[in-house]
Structure 1
Amino acid sequence: MHSMTGFGRGSASTTLWHANVEITTVNRKQAEVVIQAPRELNELDARIRKQILAVLSRGRIQVSINLENTTSEATEIELNSQLAQSLEAAFTELGNRLGRPLLPTASDLLRQPDFILTRKSGMDPEACWGAIEPALEEALQNLAAMRAREGEDLKADLLTRLSELIRLAEKIAAEAPARPARQLEVLQKRLRDANLELNLDDERLLKELAIYADRCDITEELTRLDSHFAKFKEYLDAPEPPGRPLDFLCQELFREFNTIASKANDAQIAQSVVEAKTELEKIREQVQNVE
């Protein structure tokens, strides 16, 4: 089991290029890949995404790729001659209006943000891929290792909290059979408070208790809880990413505990349900971090 948060870095070099790749991942229900790389490498996006999604199935994946040319002719400088001509024409027009010659100086040109243009020479995507691919693979390996370590911590925490849920469900199961007897005491008290006498063998009282016992029976819900608990453990040990199935199971567990509280209509059982839902909410928060 892997966490969805992590970081990995990798680097590799060829005779022409040195590549540094950094990958950062955070929680997200679906897989979202964001690539930051030079525009000249846009045609490599599909390859990069394919390599990433072969390893990661969920989360927001931020990929940063930096390239350095290892040759001496790594960068070319180009002057914006059109800008220089336009600037000189503007100075000439201003000089004519002022009645004296006025020409731009070198400092005037250098202050223009787009006067000096630099670009990487010969950034061929195929040549760059030779350095990017192994660097990306190394970054993914380091990322996966970090996510696996955090995943083990998440798994240990989830198992601890699941054990508490199982304990509370067992407590509810032990209290449930006594619920009809407590209801009988409630009915008797109400009758005494109303100064009414009723024989315990009265058919009306027995029928009322039978209906109540059937209505407050939570055997099915407890059985489904046991099944969900077993499935939860199974997903934690599964080789496939369990994040989505675990999230669904949490919803089902909430539903069963809500139904138990509604059907049992008992203060003691309701208190156990509140504790279980509190623990389950913590589990749901942790599950959001699971791939």
Structure 2
Amino acid sequence: MIKSMTGFGKATCELSDKKISIEIKSLNSKQLDLNLRLPNIYREKDMLLRNELAGNLGRGKVDVGFYIDYLGSEKNASINSHIVENYFSQLQPISDKLGLSKNSDMLRVIMTLPDTVKIEQAELDEKEWGIVFETFKEALNNLNNFREQEGEVLQKEVTARINNIRRLQAAVEPYEKQRIEKVRERILDQLNELKEKISLDQNRFEQEMIFYLEKLDITEEKVRLTAHLDYFLQTMEKEEQVGRKLSFITQEIGREINTMGSKANHSEIQKLVIQMKDELEKIKEQNLNVL
């Protein structure tokens, strides 16, 4: 069964002082493109997370976000009183000189200035990390489940379009004999007009006629097209991460359809070929999202 590259997974955990939500989103991409937004305390685990993502996702544009809601006061944040006092001692004379109101909210202004709050970097607790990492793997698993569900939808859509191409190919058959007869009649009509002006070697003419009509025959193209359609469906059923392989198969399908069109020499067959091309383009669009 195929998987989609599009998906979303989320998981949360509650620790003693905070709640952590982890979200993982993925879109289609030719390669694995990872973007991790981690709190500073978890940055040392960046490579571990990347390896876990690479081993589970294959490819895609993946965004990972860790979001922390503190349940109480953040213990590692404190006001740098010396810096605040220093800012105040410098701003107060300026305020007096400019005649600014004594009621102006100077403290609020000061607290927006650099270094008024200092954050002490806490050390990562390995027990806490164990819980967070399990939550991360849960979000990753939810993402993969989403991808599988999307893959089922994609597979049904693509299978229907492959079957449409089969149906259109079968619809070509009634016109094939008619097409050859029309070509033969047209050549004979034109030749009869020239009989009085040129001498004709009847045996050579028959040989050339056979050779020309064989060039218009599309039996081989139909056989190869059927084989490619079968292989496409088998590949979806039996293999994993087949997006690139399916793209190669669609190229082969397109080659046979194009050759049928170039040999058609019949308006109704040309219409069917155009419809087959339309179905194939829709398959290619869907395939861009297949892992």
**Which whole-Å deviations, capped at 9, do the CAs of 1:175-221 have from their partners, x for residues lacking one?**
445543221112133345x4656999823432331221232233332
Q: Secondary structure at the match of 2:113?
A: coil
Instruction: Report percent identity of matched pairs.
Output: 29
* Aligned-residue offset at 1:10: 0.8
> Compared with structure 1, are the counterparts of its residues 6 and 101 closer, same or farther at alpha carbon in structure 2 (3 Å cutoff)?
closer
Cα distance in 2 for residues equivalent to 1:273 and 1:186: 23
Q: Which moved more, 1:68-77 or 1:19-28?
A: 68-77
Cα distance in 2 for residues equivalent to 1:180 and 1:45: 67
What does 1:181-260 align with in structure 2 at a 5 Å threshold?
A: 181-191=181-191, 194=193, 196=195, 202-260=202-260
Structure 2 residue 4 is the aligned partner of structure 1 residue 3 = yes
TM-score by structure 2 length? Answer: 0.83
Q: Secondary structure at the match of 1:159?
A: helix
Alpha-carbon contact 2:19-2:71 (below 8 Å) kept = yes
Cα distance in 2 for residues equivalent to 1:173 and 1:142: 48
Alpha-carbon contact 1:13-1:19 (below 8 Å) kept = yes
Instruction: Give 2:47's aligned residue.
Output: 46
Instruction: Give 1:285's aligned residue.
Output: 285
**Which whole-Å deviations, capped at 9, do the CAs of 1:194-250 have from their partners, x for residues lacking one?**
465699982343233122123223333223212211211112112412212112211
Cα distance in 2 for residues equivalent to 1:47 and 1:224: 47
Aligned-residue CA RMSD (Å): 3.2
**Which whole-Å deviations, capped at 9, do the CAs of 1:233-275 have from their partners, x for residues lacking one?**
1121124122121122112211221122113333232221101
Cα distance in 2 for residues equivalent to 1:160 and 1:102: 76
Cα distance in 1 for residues equivalent to 2:217 and 2:91: 91
* Aligned-residue offset at 1:41: 2.0
* Aligned-residue offset at 1:48: 1.1
Instruction: Give 2:105's aligned residue.
Output: 107
Alpha-carbon contact 1:180-1:212 (below 8 Å) kept = no
Cα distance in 1 for residues equivalent to 2:224 and 2:145: 36
> Compared with structure 1, are the counterparts of its residues 126 and 177 closer, same or farther at alpha carbon in structure 2 (3 Å cutoff)?
farther
* Aligned-residue offset at 1:280: 0.8
Q: Secondary structure at the match of 1:55?
A: helix
Q: Secondary structure at the match of 1:54?
A: helix
Is there any run of 5+ residues in structure 2 with no aligned partner, and where?
none
> Compared with structure 1, are the counterparts of its residues 203 and 279 closer, same or farther at alpha carbon in structure 2 (3 Å cutoff)?
same
Structure 2 residue 157 is the aligned partner of structure 1 residue 157 = yes
Alpha-carbon contact 1:4-1:290 (below 8 Å) kept = yes
Aligned AA (2:218): I
> Compared with structure 1, are the counterparts of its residues 41 and 202 closer, same or farther at alpha carbon in structure 2 (3 Å cutoff)?
same
Cα distance in 2 for residues equivalent to 1:23 and 1:235: 28
Alpha-carbon contact 1:14-1:130 (below 8 Å) kept = no
Q: Secondary structure at the match of 1:237?
A: helix
Q: Which moved more, 1:203-212 or 1:159-168?
A: 203-212
* Aligned-residue offset at 1:102: 8.2
Q: Secondary structure at the match of 1:283?
A: helix
> Compared with structure 1, are the counterparts of its residues 168 and 121 closer, same or farther at alpha carbon in structure 2 (3 Å cutoff)?
same
Aligned AA (1:110): R
TM-score by structure 1 length? Answer: 0.83
Aligned AA (1:107): D
Q: Secondary structure at the match of 1:290?
A: coil
> Compared with structure 1, are the counterparts of its residues 102 and 71 closer, same or farther at alpha carbon in structure 2 (3 Å cutoff)?
closer
Instruction: Give 2:262's aligned residue.
Output: 262
Instruction: Give 1:124's aligned residue.
Output: 124
Aligned AA (2:277): K
Cα distance in 1 for residues equivalent to 2:71 and 2:109: 30
**Which whole-Å deviations, capped at 9, do the CAs of 1:105-151 have from their partners, x for residues lacking one?**
88223224235436476252745422321111111222222221221
Aligned AA (2:156): A
